[in-house]
Structure 1
Amino acid sequence: MQHRNVIVKGIFAGILIGLAGMIYLSAPAKIIGAIFFSFAIIVILFQGLYLFTSKVGYVLPFSKDYMKVIFKTILGNIVGLAIVAGLIHLTFHAAIQNAKALVEAKLSYPWYASLSLSILCGAVMYIICDLFHDFKTDFVKVVVCMFGIVIFLMSGFEHSIANIFYFFLAKSFTLKTLLYLIIMMIGNGIGAVGLNYLNQVIKKGKE
């Protein structure tokens, strides 16, 4: 039941990211899309939903059970993203063409550039999640989430789960797409886990 709950919460999170991706692709300006995209992360964190980039930073110390949670989270996220993308494909929404242009640009980067941008995104996502749990005031939590999301989107950092939605929407199902998604997920993990490790070292130093 617990693992099924993880998948359900992962699907819910995936749907929210899909909707956020739609808003981002449809917004008249990048900054507006970034602000509205933050709504999805805010809901995910307040509701305790399972998003890969909000959970991967806490894989250390290593646990087989937690790794199962991560894989089930990814599965749930993908299902949620596929649902939204599938519904959009039943329309003639302009976001589909915008997604194709965005995907073409993302796949034109060298792999190491995508890795670097993914690491930075993972680091920002860890900061958002960690501060969210540290702060007690809901208003401050919302502000932290909003600014954090705006930072990584305006900077062009690579959020692997959001990118899966863009790839689905653009119908980009190639080996190169798969390899880049794996690179982005690894990068998100490196950034989040690395910053979490440094944070733990700092906390131990204060004891």
Structure 2
Amino acid sequence: MITKESWLKSILAGLFIGIGGIAYLSVENKVVGAALFAVGLFTICTLGYNLYTGKLCYILDSDKKGGYLVWLIQIWVGNLIGTVIAGYGMRLTRSGAALAEKAQTLCDTKLNDSVWSIFILAIFCNLLIYIAVENYKNNPHPLGKYMGIMMGVIVFIVAGFEHCVANMFYFSVANAWSLHTCLYLLIMTLGNLVGGVLPELAKKYWQK
């Protein structure tokens, strides 16, 4: 599973989440910003890129769970590279100062939160990502496919849920990296994993 193509698709997924984050930070209205952020997940789904929070939802369906977990780690690292490119790249542009200021406010809220709060908010985030990805994959109606993406993204952002890849971008554009940041990113990553797996666990339980 770990190939040059997989690395490229993972890095591009992080880059497009970063572009979604740039759009979100560029407008004052939170709902409008959340809707614009959806360009990231829309692009990833339609072009088949590798996003950690989407791919982790199907770890239970894999015959080789250990290999799938290693692949997820590679995707996570690729997503990190893509978001770092987006975040630090924007710091070199005329928009960088304004974006960094807004991102810093977000980062302060996240990094001053409690561990349990971050973990629970990350679980809720990936419940919505699961809904978005499942709708795109399985909804027979074209409108339903894209509404699933839009609604999932808008709700998780407006509700303040924690998406580890989006936060990689915010931490980068705000230059907010530290050991504390890395610890919180790990907690977000694990919370997203739990939120993504829960619906599949429930499905397997009722199908017995």
**Normalised by the shorter chain, which TM-score bucket?**
over 0.9
User: Contact 2:2–2:71 at 8 Å: present in 1 too?
Assistant: no
Higher mean C-alpha deviation, range 138-147 or range 111-120: 138-147
Tell me the secondary structure at the aligned position of residue 34 of structure 2.
Answer: helix
Tell me the secondary structure at the aligned position of residue 181 of structure 2.
Answer: helix
Higher mean C-alpha deviation, range 13-22 or range 58-67: 58-67
TM (norm. structure 2) is: 0.93
Tell me the secondary structure at the aligned position of residue 59 of structure 1.
Answer: helix
1:107 is aligned to 2:108: no
User: Contact 1:99–1:167 at 8 Å: present in 2 too?
Assistant: yes
Given candidates 71, 74, 98, the residue that maps to 2:73 is 71
Partner of 1:123: 127
Tell me the secondary structure at the aligned position of residue 56 of structure 1.
Answer: helix
Amino acid at match of 2:78: G
Compute the displacement of 1:100 (Å).
0.8
Partner of 1:20: 20
User: What count of residue pairs does the alignment treat as equivalent?
Assistant: 204
How far apart in 1 are the matches of 2:159 and 2:152?
11
Compute the displacement of 1:33 (Å).
0.5
Compute the displacement of 1:2 (Å).
5.4
TM (norm. structure 1) is: 0.94
The answer for unaligned runs of 5 or more in structure 2 is none
Amino acid at match of 1:88: M
Q: Which runs of 4+ in 1 moved over 4 A?
A: none
Cα offsets for 1:28-79 (capped at 9, x unmatched):
2000010011121111111111000001111125612211210111111111
- Aligned-pair Cα RMSD in Å: 1.4
Tell me the secondary structure at the aligned position of residue 36 of structure 1.
Answer: helix
Higher mean C-alpha deviation, range 133-142 or range 109-118: 133-142
Percent identity over paired residues = 31
Partner of 1:53: 53
The answer for unaligned runs of 5 or more in structure 1 is none
User: Contact 1:42–1:145 at 8 Å: present in 2 too?
Assistant: yes
User: Contact 2:56–2:193 at 8 Å: present in 1 too?
Assistant: yes
1:160 is aligned to 2:169: no
User: Contact 1:120–1:191 at 8 Å: present in 2 too?
Assistant: yes
User: Contact 1:35–1:150 at 8 Å: present in 2 too?
Assistant: yes
User: Contact 1:22–1:95 at 8 Å: present in 2 too?
Assistant: yes
Given candidates 169, 172, 185, the residue that maps to 2:173 is 169
Higher mean C-alpha deviation, range 159-168 or range 74-83: 74-83
